[in-house]
Amino acid sequence: MQRLWLAIQRGYLRIIEPFAGWLVKVGVGPNTITTVGTLTYIVGGGLYASGHIMTAGWWLGLTAMFDVLDGKVARASGRTTVFGAFYDSTLDRVADGAVLGGLAVFFARNDVLHGVPHWAGTPMVALTILGIIGTFLTSYTRARAEALGIDAKVGMMQRPERVTLLSAPQAFFGLALGGWVLMLIVAVLSVTAWITAVQRIVYVHRVTQPIDHPEGPVDGAEVPPALAEARRGPGLPS
């Protein structure tokens, strides 16, 4: 499965390569691409909120290339900046919140839109909100770990997989089987987001054991440089 996913990613990158080259040629900045990409996610969230599930799936699937284009253009044009990385990461949270928020609105309006069984509206709102929190947690745990010098890119649900689940199944199935396909996808996203957050917490706990136990490494864990520096100082920042 992993090999299949990597093959799909490589194929996708080859497809958008000419477009990235054209954007570099005409001088479009990576931050502009990031902004436009975020706006497309907000539109997608609006489509979900209005009940156009299949249209939203296709829209997100076709515009997901902006997630990749900004980085490719930045590297190809030599315009990679620290602020650009920060800006991209920040707007990714806006995009995730817009799409999942749109789904929460859709479920909350189930008495009008009738997209899922009548009893499922409120529980799905709660599950979607949990998914939003879990998604933000996966991003925060990684960012906080990186601030300590730890690469915490671990876990079962990275952002590319999450974007795929938010678009492809809806594009092909919409509200098939009385909305059960959509509810299942939201449930999978919510559960795996929390699992990923926990996996990252456990990983950071393991690799930070040397600073909490200065007498020596625990389970062969190596001390990241930033943590080694922190050990010599007054303590970790909160």
Using CA atoms, how far residue 205 sits from 172, 215, 232, in Å, is: 40, 17, 19
Exposure class string for 159-176: b at 16+ Cβ within 10 A, else e: eeebbebbbbbbbebbbe
CB 79 within 8 A of CB 73: yes
Q: Which of 70, 92, 151, 212 is catalytic?
A: 92
CB-based contacts of 145, cutoff 8 Å, min separation 6:
151, 152, 200, 203, 204
Nearest residue to 48 (alpha-carbon basis) of 96, 118, 92: 96
The distance between the two most distant Cα atoms of the chain, rounded to a whole number of Å, is 63
Say which amino acid occupies 102: G
Exposure class string for 86-107: b at 16+ Cβ within 10 A, else e: ebbeebbbebbbbbbbbbbbbb
Is residue 92 flagged as an active site residue?
A: yes
Residues labelled as active-site residues: 92
